[in-house]
Structures are given as structure tokens and as C-alpha cells.
């Protein structure tokens, strides 16, 4: 049997068994059988030098970073010239052997392997400079962390999230407006997370589509040979067909049929000359390489008539226009509505009730209005919110007009505030969804945050509500009780003060040693002295605490919460006012996040990039010529190994 295929089979079977045993309290195989398969997998990994990121033999550590550092690509990543005309594509191919493959719709990533291990992952970014996402790439589901090849390998590929995983993730989000719009947006956000634990939960997959560098390997001047070699190293490669202009039609029919049932997003095809030397000899234009061409599917459009505009309020007060039209068949499904996005687009289309419009699915997924043929422009923009009846106003930002509800007490905004309060980084009331909160608010059981901690007084009312039984009720109470003891940082973030995110809440609490009474009484001058707090943020923060309503919310919460703050001995803050940057791998700590926590525990601060404010750069490869090391040397900043750091803090 193919060893790579067997490795993938074993990984899948063993992961299913682990999930069943640990998460679902059931066994699908005996311990003896599991151990035998595990041993087989381990032996195959040692034999082939191939270890997949989701292999049960690997414990991938989760790590968080403050920011994603930027890095310049060794060679610029140009866009491709494109066409929707098959004959233009045929002309490009001529008699040249060409690889025709999916143009996958995700996030392009450049990977670097050295000595058989994944060393670096960088997003395409601008094509010249991308963001370093190495931590996140390590948890891509199907990416090998170790490969047989020991030289330097650089390759490009697409990170994607399948339609089925996209739908599963969206199904867990009960608030329809908070759901992700398409797999590409979800993938982009997942790959660029600061915490790779979130990336791992999103089931991101990677498909290689180009080899950039692999010294010492003879590819027989063939792109197809490169693809086969990448597959032999353990990479999932984008599906392709080898064709010429004469054999193009059969391949095009295959792709046109397959896209209707594919589980991964694709917005077209890519044609690449197989002959490496010939393709590279053609050079590039100012914008495009001459050895490749993109084919975009011609959008299927349908004529229909606009029936109405539905005004859909969001949880932030934004009121979105949604076009409702006579149902039409598009790309195999019936559609009857499309988001118009904002007032500016609605005005640009000059929409009116009864207008003859042309609709399509962007990338064969998202219904959109392509054209308005009648352009009657007879729509009336409402001046009241459809939820609360309060005043609605058109606001303009960067030339884009949007409609907003101006009522601060609008129920739509209330739900958003409660959702933030119970979220993971705030009070962390696991299992309480927006849908559940809406039911409690509609019944009058919850009017402010503190009421959540008194739900035990409404047992009979809740059990009489649809969807609640003894078990679900007890689970909610247990989650609330668990959250009753919290930290100053969590509570400050949970209050929903404008501009106060998780990181800012930590910064303010650290400066005030977790004293919430002191924090609530800070003036703009005191806040301005905290590094990272600007005048606009400080002004809004002080204004929030001056409102009686907000003070009452806080006071009522303090009656039901136990806020535990960590007492700090100033004598232990030996790194106070010192700023560190950490780069490279670590050995004495489990991961860089653990080292960061140690620095912060001792009063220091960790940032993501070297600047004049940096006190020390920590890099075990002190003599490397990395960009951060170079920057540190230019600025005269000491570069410490972990051993140097430990000597510093133990001295």
C-alpha cells in the first residue's frame, strides 16, 4: 500500500477514536487495537520522515502573539492575467503541455522547510510583503510538519476551509448576522489569528500549487514532476489535468461539472506551462508572469424584478438594506434575496420597487445585484429603526453612507452588549447563546448584567419556555455560578466600554494593580500616562464612567461578583519598564507564550517588533542574520539567548 496514503488513513482513524473516547464518552475500538494502529503510524512516520500536523503522535503547542510580524518575500508574487473566454485560454496554450488546475479561493501561503521541518509560513499579503503565520500553519489539518527532504524547500499553496466545515462553524453561531459570509473570509480570518488554538478549531487545509525552490532535486524541467514530488513529500496538491489547446475541451467539461459538487471553494482555473525553462524564459509583464493564465467562470445571470427592500438591523446599530426579488434559479439553487451592503451602493444602483434587475452569484456563492435596468430610484430610506422605532440616521465614513439606529437602548444593541458580557474573554458563561439571551430579555427576566446571576429565582418560568428542560437549565446555572468569580481584566472588558478590548483592559488593570475603584475614577491625564492609551480612548473611557446608568450597572455587578485580583509585590517586578521582543524557537520554556507570561509576571512588557523602545531581543540564535537581529544591532539593542535571559532574572 502507498505509505503516504496509509499514514493519512491511520491519522484519521486514530483521531476519530480519540474524539469518540474523550469527547463523546464512547469507544469505537479497543485499547489494544488503538495501540497497534498507533505503533504502526509511528513506525511509518519514522520510516518515511513524514509527520502530518494532525497526527496523534504530535503534540502541537498552542501559542498566542501580540501581532503578526511582516516579512518580504524572496521573490515577488505577481497576479495572473485572466479571461472568461475559453478560446483565449486555448490560444495561450497552443501546442504546449499545460497544467490546468483549480484556482482555489482561500488565502495564499508561502512555506519554507529546512532540515525536514516546517520553519516558516508567510501570507501572500501585497505580493511583496506578507504576514508571518508560522504558528497557525503548524495546526493546518493536512500539512506535514516534517518531510523526508532535508534541503531548503520553498513552496506556495492555498489555505482553504471547505464548504462543509464552513457550514458547521456557522451553524454554531445562532446570531445570523454574526455568521461568516463565505469560506474565503472565514479562512483569511482563521489563518491570521493571533492565537493558533482558534486556527486549529477552524479545520484549515492547505493545497500546494507551486514549487519555488528545492535545491539538488532533478525535476526533469517539468512542473508536473514538481507536483508529483511535492505529493511524495506528504503535501496535498491542487488537482490538475495536463492538456494542450487541442485537448482543452474535455478537461474544461470535467472542471465545469466537478465544481458543482466540490467541497472546497474555487473561483476559476489556472493554466501553467509544464516546461519550466520555456515558461521562465518568457519573463513577465509589469503586472503578470507570461507562463501562466487564469480562467474565471462566466457568471450566470438572471433577470428578475425587485419586490421590496428589507431593512435588517445588526447588533451594532447598523441597519442593512436587503433586496427581495422574484425568485430565480442561479447556479442550481433558488434565490430571492441579496444584500445591498449600504446606502451608497443602493443609491449608485438607483434601486426602486418594480425595477428590472440582473442578479448573479459572486464566485458562484453569494447572490448580488449586477445591474439595474430600470433605475427608477423610488426607494424611501426609513428614518426610524424597524426594531425599536427610534430615530435612524445616515452616517458617512470614508465616503460610504450607512444607516444607523441612534437609540442607545435599542434591543438589538442590548443583545450585542449581553453577548459580549457572556463571551469567552469576558465572563465566559459557556453555553449561553444570543438566542437564549433574547428569550430571557423578551420574558423580562434579564434587564441588566447582574440579573443573569439571579436566574435561579425564575426556575419555573424558564422551564416553561420552549427549548428548556431540567438539564439545560442546570447547565446554564452551573456556567453562571462558575463565572461568578472573575478577574478585574475580564470584568473591565465585559462592561463593553467603547474602545476597551481584551488587551487594553489588561493594560489599564495592570497600571492600576487591578483596583477597579481606582480604575473607575481615573481621569484623562492618568489614563494618558499609560503606554498605549491615547487621548480619544481616554476621553471616551472617562465619559463612560461619568454616566449614572453605567455606574449603576457596575455597582449592581459588584454585589453579585467576586473579583479576584492578583496581589503583586513590587520588589518582584525586576523587569519593570523593560520591553522585550521574542523571536525564534525556545527550549527552556514550553513555547514563546510561556516565556512572555514569565516576562509579564516580572513586570516587563512583550511586543512583536523591534523598535527604539525595545530593551532586549530574545533569540536563541544570537548570531543569525534575521531581520529582527539586524534591526536590534542597528539600534544597539542587546540580543539575549534564553540562557542569558534566565541569568538576568535570576541574578
Integer angstrom CA distances of residue 235 from 53, 153, 402, 470, 516: 11, 12, 45, 49, 52
Q: Would you call 311 helix, strand, or coil by DSSP?
A: strand
- Taking alpha carbons only, the member of 140, 375, 115, 99 closest to residue 222 is 99
Grid coordinates given for 342: 449600504
Please report, to the nearest 10 degrees, the dihedral formed by the alpha carbons of residues 445, 451, 455, 461 taken in order. -10
* Whether the Cβ atoms of residue 154 and residue 147 lie closer than 8 Å to each other: no
DSSP letter for 176, please. Answer: G
Strand 318-330, strand 301-313: pairing = antiparallel
Q: Which one of 5, 47, 103, 391 is the catalytic residue?
A: 103
Phi-psi region at 314: left, alpha or beta (left = phi > 0; alpha = psi -120 to 50) = beta
- Taking alpha carbons only, the member of 527, 549, 535, 627 closest to residue 581 is 627
Residues 6 or more apart whose CB falls under 8 angstroms from that of 75 comprise 212
What are the start-end ranges of the E strands in 179-315? 205-214, 240-243, 266-273, 292-295, 301-313
Residues 6 or more apart whose CB falls under 8 angstroms from that of 216 comprise 151
Grid coordinates given for 359: 442578479
Dihedral sign (CA 118, 124, 129, 132): negative
* Whether the Cβ atoms of residue 152 and residue 141 lie closer than 8 Å to each other: no
560, burial (CB in 10 Å: exposed 0-12, middle 13-18, buried 19+): middle
CA atoms within 13 A on the CB side of 23: 6
Grid coordinates given for 445: 427576566
Which parts of 410-523 fold into alpha helices (H)? 411-422, 434-442, 459-463, 470-483, 488-494, 502-511, 516-520
Distance CA 478, CA 569 (A): 34
Let me know if 576 is a catalytic residue: no
In total, the chain counts a number of residues equal to 651
Q: Would you call 89 helix, strand, or coil by DSSP?
A: helix
Grid coordinates given for 452: 443573569
Active site residues: 103
Amino acid at each position: 500500500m502507498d505509505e503516504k496514503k496509509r499514514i493519512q488513513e491511520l491519522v484519521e482513524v486514530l483521531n476519530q477514536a480519540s474524539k469518540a473516547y474523550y469527547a463523546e464518552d464512547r469507544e469505537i475500538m479497543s485499547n489494544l487495537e488503538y495501540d497497534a494502529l498507533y505503533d504502526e503510524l509511528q513506525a511509518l512516520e519514522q520510516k518515511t520522515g513524514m509527520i502530518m500536523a494532525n497526527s496523534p503522535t504530535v503534540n502541537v503547542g498552542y501559542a498566542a502573539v501580540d501581532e503578526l510580524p511582516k516579512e518580504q518575500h524572496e521573490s515577488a508574487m505577481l497576479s495572473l492575467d485572466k479571461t472568461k473566454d475559453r478560446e483565449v485560454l486555448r490560444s495561450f496554450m497552443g501546442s504546449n503541455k499545460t497544467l490546468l488546475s483549480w484556482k482555489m479561493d482561500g488565502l495564499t501561503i508561502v512555506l519554507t522547510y529546512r532540515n525536514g521541518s516546517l520553519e516558516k509560513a508567510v501570507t501572500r499579503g501585497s505580493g511583496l510583503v506578507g504576514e508571518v503565520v508560522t504558528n497557525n500553519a503548524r495546526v493546518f489539518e493536512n500539512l506535514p510538519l516534517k518531510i523526508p527532504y532535508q534541503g531548503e524547500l520553498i513552496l506556495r499553496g492555498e489555505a482553504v476551509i471547505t464548504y462543509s466545515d464552513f457550514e458547521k462553524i456557522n451553524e454554531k453561531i445562532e446570531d445570523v448576522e454574526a455568521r461568516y459570509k463565505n469560506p474565503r473570509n472565514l479562512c483569511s480570518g482563521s489563518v491570521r489569528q493571533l492565537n493558533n488554538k482558534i486556527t486549529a478549531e477552524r479545520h484549515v487545509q492547505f493545497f500546494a500549487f507551486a514549487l519555488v525552490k528545492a535545491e539538488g532535486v532533478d525535476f526533469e524541467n517539468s512542473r508536473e514532476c514538481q507536483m508529483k514530488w511535492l505529493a511524495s513529500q506528504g503535501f496535498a496538491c491542487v488537482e490538475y489535468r495536463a492538456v494542450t489547446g487541442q485537448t482543452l475541451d474535455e478537461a474544461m467539461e470535467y472542471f465545469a461539472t466537478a465544481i458543482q459538487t466540490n467541497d472546497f471553494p474555487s473561483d476559476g482555473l489556472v493554466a501553467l506551462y509544464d516546461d519550466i525553462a520555456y515558461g521562465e524564459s518568457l519573463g513577465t509583464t509589469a503586472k503578470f508572469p507570461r507562463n501562466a493564465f487564469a480562467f474565471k467562470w462566466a457568471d450566470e445571470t438572471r433577470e428578475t424584478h425587485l419586490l421590496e427592500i428589507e431593512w435588517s438591523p445588526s447588533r451594532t446599530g447598523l441597519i442593512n438594506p436587503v433586496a427581495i426579488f422574484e425568485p430565480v434559479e442561479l447556479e442550481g439553487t433558488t434565490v430571492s434575496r441579496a444584500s445591498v451592503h449600504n446606502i451608497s451602493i443602493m443609491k449608485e444602483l438607483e434601486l426602486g420597487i418594480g425595477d428590472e434587475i440582473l442578479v448573479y452569484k459572486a464566485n458562484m456563492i453569494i447572490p448580488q445585484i449586477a445591474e439595474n435596468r430600470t433605475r427608477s430610484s423610488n426607494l424611501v430610506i426609513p428614518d426610524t429603526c424597524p426594531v425599536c422605532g427610534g430615530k435612524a440616521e445616515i452616517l458617512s465614513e470614508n465616503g460610504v453612507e450607512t444607516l444607523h439606529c441612534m437609540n442607545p437602548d435599542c434591543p438589538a444593541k442590548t443583545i450585542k452588549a449581553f453577548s459580549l458580557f457572556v463571551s469567552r474573554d469576558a465572563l465566559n458563561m459557556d453555553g449561553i447563546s444570543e438566542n437564549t439571551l433574547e428569550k430571557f430579555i423578551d420574558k423580562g427576566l434579564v434587564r441588566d448584567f447582574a440579573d443573569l446571576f439571579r436566574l435561579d429565582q425564575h426556575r419555573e418560568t424558564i422551564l416553561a419556555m420552549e427549548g428548556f428542560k431540567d438539564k439545560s437549565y442546570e447547565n446554564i446555572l452551573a456556567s453562571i455560578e462558575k463565572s461568578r468569580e472573575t478577574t478585574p481584566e475580564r470584568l473591565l472588558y465585559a462592561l463593553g466600554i467603547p474602545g476597551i478590548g481584551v488587551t487594553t483592559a489588561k493594560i489599564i488593570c495592570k497600571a492600576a494593580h487591578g483596583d477597579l475603584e481606582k480604575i473607575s475614577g481615573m481621569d484623562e491625564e492618568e489614563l494618558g500616562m499609560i503606554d498605549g492609551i491615547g487621548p480619544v480612548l481616554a476621553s471616551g473611557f472617562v465619559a463612560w464612567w461619568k454616566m449614572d446608568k453605567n455606574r449603576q450597572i457596575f455597582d449592581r455587578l459588584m454585589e453579585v461578583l467576586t473579583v479576584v485580583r492578583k496581589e503583586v509585590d513590587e520588589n518582584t517586578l525586576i523587569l519593570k519598564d523593560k520591553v522585550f521582543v521574542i523571536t525564534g524557537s525556545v527550549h527552556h520554556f514550553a513555547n514563546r507564550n510561556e516565556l512572555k507570561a514569565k516576562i509579564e509576571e516580572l513586570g516587563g512588557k512583550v511586543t512583536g517588533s523591534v523598535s527604539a523602545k525595545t530593551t532586549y531581543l530574545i533569540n536563541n540564535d544570537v548570531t543569525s542574520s534575521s531581520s529582527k537581529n539586524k534591526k536590534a544591532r542597528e539600534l544597539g539593542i542587546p540580543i539575549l539567548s534564553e540562557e542569558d535571559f534566565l541569568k538576568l532574572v535570576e541574578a
